[in-house]
Chain A
Amino acid sequence: MSTVTATDRTEVSQQRSALSRASHFLTLPAVGPLFALLLACVYFSVRTDRFLTGANLSLVVQQVMVVGALAVGQTIVILTAGIDLSNGAVMALGSIFMTKLAVHSGMPGIGAILIGIAVCTAFGALNGTLVTMAKLPPFIVTLGTWNIAFALTHVYSNEQTITGLPTSLTFLGRTFPLGNTDVTYGSVLMLLLFAVAWYVLRQTAAGRHVYAVGDNREAARLTGIPDRRLLLTVYTVAGVIYGIAALLLIGRTSVGDPQAGQTDNLDSITAVVLGGVSLFGGRGSIIGALCGALIVGVIRNGLQLTGVPSIYQVLITGILVILAVSVDQLARRRRT
Chain B
Amino acid sequence: MTETSGTETRPVLEAHGLVKRYGHVTALSGADFELLPGEILAVIGDNGAGKSTLIKALSGALVPDQGRILLDGRPVRFTSPADARRAGIETVYQDLAVAPALDIASNMFLGREMRRKGVLGSVFRMLDHKRMQAEASDHMRDLKIGIKSIKQAVETLSGGQRQGVAVARSAAFARHVVIMDEPTAALGVKESGMVLELIRQVRDRGLPVILISHDMPAVFDVADRIHIQRLGRRVAVVRPAETDMAETVAIMTGAAPGNLDDAANGNGTT
Interface set of A (CB-CB < 8 Å, partner B):
20, 24, 203-206, 208-209, 211-212, 215-216, 218-220, 222-225, 282-283, 335-336
Contact = CB atoms under 8 A, between A and B. Distances in A.
User: Among the interface residues B100, B111, B113, which one has the most CB atoms of the partner chain A within 10 A?
Assistant: B111
Interface in B41-94: 81-82, 85, 91, 93
B224 interface: no
User: Among the interface residues B102, B112, B124, B155, which one has the most CB atoms of the partner chain A within 10 A?
Assistant: B102
A223 to B, nearest CB: 4
Main secondary structure of the interface of A (DSSP, over half): helix
7 contacts: A203-B124, A211-B106, A212-B110, A219-B97, A219-B110, A220-B99, A223-B112
User: Among the interface residues A24, A206, A208, which one has the most CB atoms of the partner chain B within 10 A?
Assistant: A208
B119 to A, nearest CB: 14
B127 interface: yes
B149 A224 contact: no
B125 to A, nearest CB: 5
Given A216-B97, A223-B110, A335-B155, A208 B125 contact: no
B151 A215 contact: no
Contacts of B100: 215-216, 335
Contact of B127 (A208, A218, A225): A208
User: Among the interface residues B82, B98, B99, B111, which one has the most CB atoms of the partner chain A within 10 A?
Assistant: B99
Contacts of B149: 20
A216 B96 CA distance: 10
B113 A211 contact: no
Given A216-B100, A219-B99, 15 more contacts: A203-B124, A204-B126, A205-B125, A205-B127, A208-B106, A208-B110, A211-B99, A212-B106, A216-B99, A218-B95, A222-B81, A223-B111, A225-B110, A283-B101, A335-B100
Question: 8 closest A-B pairs (Cβ-Cβ)?
Answer: A223-B111, A205-B113, A219-B97, A215-B99, A224-B111, A212-B99, A224-B82, A204-B125
Contacts of A336: 155
A282 B149 CA distance: 20
B16 interface: no
B98 to A, nearest CB: 6
Contacts of B151: 24
B115 interface: yes
Interface in B248-267: none
A224 B81 contact: yes
Contacts of B85: 224
Contacts of B110: 208-209, 212, 219-220, 223, 225
